[in-house]
A and B are shown apart, each in its own frame.
Chain A
Amino acid sequence: MQVKKTNYRVNATPTFEVLSEDEIEAIYYSALRVLYETGLRVYEKEGVEVAYSGGAIVEDTTKDSSLVKIPPWMVDRARATLPRKVVVTGPNRKYCMELYKNQIYFGTGSDTPFTLDPYTGQRRRATYQDVKNLARLAEALPNIDFHMSLGIVQDSAVGTYDRWQYLAMLEGTNKPINITAVDLDGLHDQLEMAYIRLGGKEEWKKGPCFSLYIEPVSPLSHSKEVVQKLLFSADHDIPFVYTPCPLAGATAPTTLAGTAVQALTESLFGIVLSQLRKPGAQLIIGGLMSNMDMLTTVYCYGSPEMALLSAAYTQITKWLEVPEYETGGCSDAKLFDEQAAMEATINLATAALVGGNMIHDVGYIEQGLTSSPDMMVASDEIIDMVKHILGGIPVTDETMALDVIDEIGPGGHYREHDHTTRWKTELWRPKLINRQSWENWELAGSKAYQQRVRERVIEILDADTQPLVDEAMYKELHRICELADARHKDEELDIKMFG
């Protein structure tokens, strides 16, 4: 074959950029300044000590906390051991996430107090069965790569709900899970449960089957349980997401660049502390960052600012060479309506275009207070469509098809030509989106999009599925939950969320 060109670059995918490299660096060096000059408040003595032994300045120590300032050289040292790639698998290794650079994975969100009933649409507090059902949806949806609870289990004890939640998720899905933990004891219990699910403690090293979600408080505050979880995760090789959730205009500067600087300061502290504790501790950095709505005071999940900040911050984490945590597929709508679909589409598209490793919160509505199965199922298809756009347009001699154009000629048509058999791979096919003619759509029942989505949710939930956890294993896992309940019995009060 004769080579006839050189220096020819291709776009294998579209590219999308919010910040230039110089702007990313400006934000980074500003964050280093805030770390060094302003400092952060740390509410856990052990965390303060680890930072101090590593070279941090510690001042203004009160009964609860200390002000910790980190000089820039400590960040450089931490970055040298920070893993550029983190792997999280599902418990039976069928699914695996390789988190680095431009690999994208989509997933749901965690711990909503409310959920929309998949059958009635009623908004109510979430139960064990809801969390299990939502996990089953995640298992069935091809574009959901990892799962988070999409509901706080509230028909169990309040102080140990995290173990029950994890069990419900394990019952529903074999995909990698991003867990939350009430406290250190909850994290410890869920790790034990994971060892059981994997078939032994040694299996964890071959691929952890969960990552832990940890959220410091903005501005610049690292609470006791946040630091405890960070240290425990570093010690036990648990990959963890360390993400602040700053609120522009309320707990962070109104200007988005200022929010990014503050968030990066908070993230860098997590990086420094974890690497001091154990060089090579695995972190995923990023977050949910957005603005406060100035009329209603809510934390916006569907705003353009959320999409913009998420994308910009993902660029920053890529530049830092650490796995990235992004947000998309969420909305401020109160039900799965046009607003929900529209906001989710915008933030899924921007998230995917910039390409964060874990794009989370698919299925979130009402500012993350309520989960919606309809939103989850609809988003699966939106992601599919977005991914098709990410496939770009390959420009080759074959795809430019000059010979076909010449063959068909003026006034001809392409439908029967061999070339058109490419439609299966070249053209995207919707399942929930409808493109029928009016008459056929009417004949098929005049179904609105919402109704088609709802029917698909019910179809998945009503389908017979094999249990993912056998009886013996279920008993072992259940026992850990029960023991946790017994240990924390005295902290509970005689109030139940239901009944």
Chain B
Amino acid sequence: MSTLYEELFTAILEGNNEITPRLVQKGLDEGWVPKDILDHGLVVGMNEVGARFKAGDMYVPEVLMSAEAMQAGLKILRPLLVSSGAQLIGKIVLGTVKGDLHDIGKNLVGMMCEGAGFEVIDLGFNVEPERFVEAIKQHQPQIVGMSALLTTTMRAMAHTIKAIEEAGLRDKVKIMVGGASVDAEFSRRIGADGYGSNAPAGVDLAKRFVGAV
């Protein structure tokens, strides 16, 4: 039992997106439960990646390679998880707000959240408040994440929260914000539920929101 999980752990840490799906398939062929392979193999590996990144022992490109390896393994497990009714740890809708084209930070958050086991719906950039509302209705995420670089587009975050409130959906989601000119104080003022100072902080926040930490 431990050999498969140990091998998966190593494959994730090394960011090996060829061995990881092979190991997942091997596990399934040997009769392991898909949810166990996810939780004890893939997620444990990504949690270690997260811890090492925080400690400054792993770099972002390495973290992203690990996330890719995880995704390669998850691709095989996902249909099986869905049919057995098992959940991924959560669903997040992400977008850069209206008027802003900057999205590299948001993209990093998306990739790292997927690596942590979330399903991520990325609306892209220059996203109007109405589109965020539609996405909440359509996908029913637990979390909505908004990004903005420019101070002038930070207003769009407040407008979006207002639109979500007016649609009667505010209590259905946790809202987190981020971006170079945003800070915790601003997040508080506009009524968001949390702020992440960088992508890893955003992932941690998302995990806390779904009680996965």
A positions within 8 Å CB-CB of B: 43, 64, 111, 113, 152, 154, 158-159, 161, 182-183, 217, 221, 223, 225, 247, 249-251, 292, 294-299, 367, 369, 491-493, 495-497
B155 touches A295 (CB 8 A): no
| Chain A neighbourhood of B123, CB < 8 A | none
Closest B residue to A154 using CB positions: B151
Taking CB as reference atom, which chain A residue is nearest B62?
A: A294
Q: Is the interface of A mostly helix, strand, loop or mixed?
A: loop
CA separation between A247 and B101, bound complex, in Å?
15
| Interface status of B61 (Cβ within 8 A of chain A) | yes
Interface string of B85-109 (1 = CB under 8 A from A): 0000000000000010110110010
Q: Which residues of B contact A367 (CB under 8 A)?
A: 180
What string of 1s and 0s marks CB contacts (under 8 Å) between B70-87 and chain A?
Answer: 000000000000000000
B155 touches A217 (CB 8 A): no
Q: Please, how many angstroms separate the alpha-carbon atoms of A225 and B152 in the complex? A: 12
The verdict on B154 contacting chain A, using a C-beta distance below 8 Å, is yes
**Please, which residues of chain B bring their CB within 8 A of the CB of A182?**
152
Distance to closest chain A CB from B196 (angstroms):
11
Q: Which of B104, B162, B180, B186 has the most CB of A within 10 A?
A: B104
Measured CA separation A431–B151 after assembly (Å):
38
The CA of A297 and the CA of B56, in the complex, are separated in Å by 12
Q: Which of the residues A217, A249, A491 comes within 8 Å of B102, measured between beta carbons?
A: A217
Given contact pairs A217-B102, A297-B60, A493 touches B155 in the complex (Cβ within 8 A): yes
**A interface footprint on B43-75 (CB within 8 Å = 1, 0 otherwise):** 000000000000010011100000000000000
Smallest distance from the beta carbon of B199 to chain A beta carbons, Å? 6
Q: Taking CB as reference atom, which chain B residue is nearest A293?
A: B60
- Does A497 contact B155, Cβ atoms closer than 8 Å? no
Q: Contact check, B198 vs A152: say whether CB atoms are below 8 A apart.
A: no
Contact B155 A369 (CB under 8 A): no
Contact of A295 among B56, B104, B151, B152 (CB under 8 A): B56
Known: A64-B126, A182-B152, A295-B60. A113 touches B181 (CB 8 A): yes
> How many Å lie between the Cα of A158 and that of B60 in the bound state?
34
Could you give 20 example pairs across A and B, Cβ below 8 Å?
A: A43-B101, A64-B126, A113-B183, A152-B181, A158-B151, A158-B152, A159-B155, A161-B151, A161-B152, A182-B152, A183-B152, A223-B101, A247-B104, A250-B104, A295-B60, A297-B108, A297-B199, A493-B158, A493-B162, A497-B189
Chain A's closest residue to B59 (CB) is A294
Given A111-B151, A491-B155, A496-B189, 14 further pairs, Cβ under 8 A = A64-B126, A113-B151, A113-B183, A152-B151, A154-B151, A183-B152, A225-B99, A247-B104, A249-B61, A294-B59, A294-B60, A295-B56, A367-B180, A497-B186
Within 8 A of A (CB), among B174-213: 180-181, 183, 186, 189-190, 198-199
Is B170 part of the contact surface with A, judged by Cβ < 8 Å? no
Residues of A within 8 A of B155 (CB): 158-159, 491-493
Q: Which residue of A lies closest to B190 (CB)?
A: A495
Q: Is there a chain A Cβ closer than 8 Å to B40's Cβ?
A: no
* B131 interface hit (Cβ, 8 Å): no
Residues of B within 8 A of A493 (CB): 155, 158-159, 162, 190
Inter-subunit contact B198/A369 (CB<8 Å): no
Return chain B residues, CB-CB under 8 Å to A496. Answer: 189
Contact B198 A297 (CB under 8 A): yes
Output the least CB separation between A252 and chain B (Å). 10
Give B117-142 as 1s and 0s: 1 = Cβ < 8 Å from A's Cβ atoms: 00000000010000000000000000
Alpha-carbon gap, A489 to B48, bound state (A): 50
Contacts of A43 in B (CB 8 A): 101
Q: Which 7 A-B pairs have the closest CB atoms?
A: A294-B59, A113-B181, A217-B101, A493-B158, A495-B189, A250-B104, A223-B101
Q: Name the CB-closest residue of A to B198.
A: A297
B49 → chain A closest CB, angstroms? 14
Chain B residues, Cβ within 8 Å of A250: 104
Cβ 8 A contact of B198, one of A159, A221, A296, A491: A296
Contacts of B154 in A (CB 8 A): 158
User: With A295-B56, A295-B59 in contact, do A495 and B151 touch (Cβ < 8 Å)?
Assistant: no
- Digit string of B155-171 for contact with A (CB within 8 Å is 1, else 0)? 10011001000000000
Contact A221 B101 (CB under 8 A): yes
Using Cβ atoms and an 8 Å threshold, which residues of chain B touch A247?
104
In angstroms, how far is the closest chain A Cβ from the Cβ of B59?
A: 4
* Contact for A495 among B101, B158, B198, CB less than 8 A: B158
Q: Chain B residues with Cβ under 8 A from A491's Cβ?
A: 155
Contacts of B101 in A (CB 8 A): 43, 217, 221, 223
| Chain B neighbourhood of A369, CB < 8 A | 180-181
Give the complex CA separation of A465 and B190 in angstroms. 40
The chain A residue sitting closest to B60, CB to CB, is A294
Min CB distance, B121 to chain A, in Å? Answer: 20
Cα A296 to Cα B126 in complex, Å, equals 25
- Closest partner residue, chain A, to B53 (CB atom): A295
Query: Closest CB-CB distance, B125 to chain A, in whole Å?
Result: 9
A496 to B162, CA, bound (A): 16
Quote the shortest CB–CB distance from B151 to chain A (angstroms).
5
Query: How distant is the Cα of A369 from the Cα of B155 in the complex, in angstroms?
Result: 18
Among residues of A, the one whose C-beta sits closest to the C-beta of B152 is A182
Residue of A nearest to B200 (CB): A297
CA distance A159 to B99 in the complex (A): 12
